[in-house]
Structures are given as C-alpha cells and as structure tokens.
Amino acid sequence: MTTSESAVEGRLEIHLAPARGEVEIRSTRPLAASRIFEGRKIDDALPLLPLLFNICGQAQAAAAVRAVESATGERAADDVERARERLIALETLREHLWRVLLDWPRFCGDKPAMQQLAPLMGLLQATRQAIDPGSTVFTRPGLRQRNAAGDDESANWQMIAQHIGRQVFAQDPAAWLMHDLSAHDAWLRHCDTPASRMLRFVRRRDWGSIGPTRRPMLPALDNSELRARLDADDADAFIAAPSLGSDSGYETGALARQAAHPLIDALRAEYGNALYPRLVARLLEIAQIAVHGGTSTAAIPTVTASDGVAQVEAARGRLVHRVVLDDTRIARYRILAPTEWNFGPMGPATEALRGIVQGETSIAREQAELLIHAIDPCVGYTLDVEGS
C-alpha cells in the first residue's frame, strides 16, 4: 500500500502483550471519508468512489450505485444487475487468489507463485472488460441496457476455471467442490499446490484450531434498520464499532458466507471457528466462482424506494452504503465496511488474537499474522508484539 493510499484508507495498529494476555486493535481509518461526496452531483461522485477506496473498488461502486437507485426509486435492468454481480465476483476472486498464490507461500517459506498468478490476473482483467466494455454499469443509476458484452466472456470464464484447476486445486474445481471431509483429507495428502502446502503447513504445526471465536455470523440486515442506525446522531460511533442491539459482535466474510457448506460444517465441528476452516472457506469461494462463472443463484437485488441503502457482499464481508439525496446532489453519505465488524472491539479478530497471546512471544507473532490474514482487513496493518 502506498503512502497516499494509506493516508486515504488508514490502517490498523494491532498490539499484543503476551505476558499480560492483552490485545488492542486501534484503527486510523478515516470513517468519515465518504463525506467527501456530500454536495457533489451524483454523476460526478459515482466515478470517483472506487478511486477513493482502492480495496474492493468494484464492490464499493456497486453499493454506491445501488444506494442511489434505492434513494431515487430507479431500478437497473436485470441484465445490468447480473453484470454487476459478475464484476463483484471477479473482484472477490482476484482478492482470494492474491492471498492464496502470493501470501500463503510466504507463510510456508516458499516463493510467491507470481508466474501462476500473472496469467490469471490478465484473464480477470480481460473478462471484466468483456462484461462492461463501456464502464457504465456502476456509473449510470437505473441503466436499462448495458453495452454489448464481448463475445469472449464465456471463453474467458472457462480459461479462468482451467487455470484455477491447475494452479490452486490440481483438479477440476467442480470436482473439488464435491469433497467431503474424507475426500478433502485425501486431496491434501496427494496435491502439491500453494493451497495444499499451506493447509498441510497449518496441520503439521497443529495450528488448525488456533484463534477460535464464538462470534455469530452476521445475519441478514434490514435496510430500514440500517438506515435508522446510519442516520442517527451516534452514527459515527455505530460505524466505528457496529453491533446489533445488545449482541456483542458479529463476523462477516468468507467463513460467514460458507458456514452452511457441508465441508465447512464438518471442519467447524473439528476445529471450531478457527484458522483452518477460515482458510478452506476462501478456497471454497475460489472454486465456486470459477465453476459458476461469477453467476449467483441468489435473487437479483431489489430496489426499495426511499431507503437509500445498499448491501453488497464484498471479498472481505458485508459492505453497506447509505445515501441521502437533495435533487441530483448527495446530501449525506455513510459507509459501513466489513473491517469494522471483524476488527472492531467486539469483533472476531480481537477474540481470536486474545486466544493466542498466552503462548511464547515468537509463536504468538507468527500465529497472529496467520489469523489476521485469514480474517483479512480491508486496509494495511502494523503488528506489534511486546517482547519480540
């Protein structure tokens, strides 16, 4: 992350004190950064938003245009919404692959798999251009017809699946998705990719169950309730440390989305909501997106007039945008990002890290790095471990 990006997006400062069993996560994220759009015309603000938020810019853009459509009562065509969903899926795939092929090898003492990642990144970019050749689906609220998609979109998705099959799973992603716990264990014994090496590394050290949490998975949220919370006088406090009623905190992201998957269910029974199931949940999402070509069986998002609220599942979790309009200008803008759920004072990251600070300092640092990457903040971070 560059200095300018860090200045705009902030970072997390994570401090562990193993001798005292203490964890502190301080955020320098400018949670009011979205107010830069207030007073701007809609047509000027929408193209700027993904530039301000470097991480998950497509998901940010989708949440923005849908929030505006909700505020105006407009509705984009179904084809446009499906294109938006595929673009979000591409972005999620990119973020997950970046972790698996670049970051995971580092934990195992291997070199990043840059040669495997480079052609995939090129394919993802080409597919994005094929889906939205005019870059209009996120910048034109109520768009009824998008520019004709490129003829090579379907072929690109097939090549993406083939690359992922070779580089991540060493088999067809569709076959990998069918694994039960026994098949998963067999795959792990015989496969040799950055993904399998990482999972074997964690198992070999008996670290699969580190950082267990009891935080519930973030449920479906009602737009009217979100609107009330984000319009309240204490909205900034809610954004900084979100909670629902008297509940102590929630988790959002890949593990939450995959919690009901049979393999994750079996792994959670063995490990709890700990490191190993989190890693496998990321792989499940990679395989699902590759197999289904970015399409989803979920209903197309509906627009509720006057809500001015949109929810999008970004790579790292649930993203919420709230907009209030004054004719064609933005009067109020608020964003609730997944990092505030996951790394807030009541979030799963604090709980997970608290579970490892009783050990040796050198091991605590290594385990903390793994857990932070697995839960995955939207911004950069610094980690300070007392005594190291």
The Cα–Cα gap between 324 and 306 comes to 9
pLDDT of residue 296: 64
In tens, the pLDDT along 248-276 reads: 789 999 999 999 999 999 999 999 999 99
pTM: 0.94
The Cα–Cα gap between 156 and 86 comes to 13
With tokens 């393999």, the residue in question is 263
Mean pLDDT along residues 91-111:
96
Instruction: Give the total residue count for the chain.
Output: 388
Mean pLDDT along residues 176-180:
97
pLDDT band for 348, please (50, 70, 90 cuts).
very high
pLDDT of residue 298: 55
- Please tell me which residue, 81 or 246, carries the higher pLDDT value: 81
Print the SS3 string covering the chain. CCHHHHHHHCEEEEEEECCCCEEEEEECCCCCHHHHHCCCEHHHHHHHHHHHCCCCHHHHHHHHHHHHHHHHCCCCCHHHHHHHHHHHHHHHHHHHHHHHHHHHHHHHCCCCCHHHHHHHHHHHHHHHHHHCCCCCCCCCCCCCCCCCCCCCHHHHHHHHHHHHHHHHHCCCHHHHHCCCHHHHHHHHHHCCCHHHHHHHHHHHCCCCCCCCECCCECCCCCHHHHHHHHHCCCHHHHHHCCCCCCCCCCECCHHHHCCCCHHHHHHHHHHCECHHHHHHHHHHHHHHHHHHCCCCCCCCCCCCCCCCEEEEEECCEEEEEEEEEECCEEEEEEEECHHHHHCCCCCHHHHHHHCCCCCCHHHHHHHHHHHHHHHCCCCEEEEEECCC
pLDDT of residue 323: 96
Mean pLDDT along residues 52-70:
92
Average pLDDT of the chain?
A: 91
- Please tell me which residue, 318 or 304, carries the higher pLDDT value: 318
- Please tell me which residue, 47 or 245, carries the higher pLDDT value: 47
The Cα–Cα gap between 88 and 81 comes to 11
Share of the chain above pLDDT 70, in %: 92
Name, of 196-205, 219-228, 234-243, the range with top average pLDDT.
196-205
Backbone angles phi, psi at 27, to 5 degrees: -105, 135
**pLDDT for residue 331 is more than 50:** yes
- Please measure the distance between the N-terminal and C-terminal CA atoms of the chain and give it in whole angstroms: 25
pLDDT of residue 1: 36
The CATH architecture that domain 57-134+152-356 belongs to is: Orthogonal Bundle (1.10)
pLDDT of residue 299: 55
Mean pLDDT along residues 198-217:
96
In tens, the pLDDT along 13-50 reads: 999 998 788 999 999 888 778 889 999 999 999 998 88
- The structure tokens listed for 273 are 């909501």
Mean pLDDT along residues 294-319:
78
pLDDT band for 4, please (50, 70, 90 cuts).
very low
pLDDT of residue 7: 44
pLDDT band for 3, please (50, 70, 90 cuts).
very low
Contact indicator for 384, 14 with CB cutoff of 8 Å: yes
Name, of 130-139, 271-280, 288-297, the range with top average pLDDT.
271-280
pLDDT of residue 2: 35
Name, of 3-17, 50-64, 357-371, the range with top average pLDDT.
50-64
**pLDDT for residue 6 is more than 90:** no
pLDDT of residue 308: 95
Mean pLDDT along residues 222-240:
93
Non-local CB neighbours of 121 within 8 Å, separated by 6+ positions:
94, 97
Backbone angles phi, psi at 290, to 5 degrees: -60, -45
The Cα–Cα gap between 57 and 253 comes to 16
pLDDT of residue 260: 95
Non-local CB neighbours of 269 within 8 Å, separated by 6+ positions:
none
Contact indicator for 72, 140 with CB cutoff of 8 Å: no
pLDDT of residue 300: 58
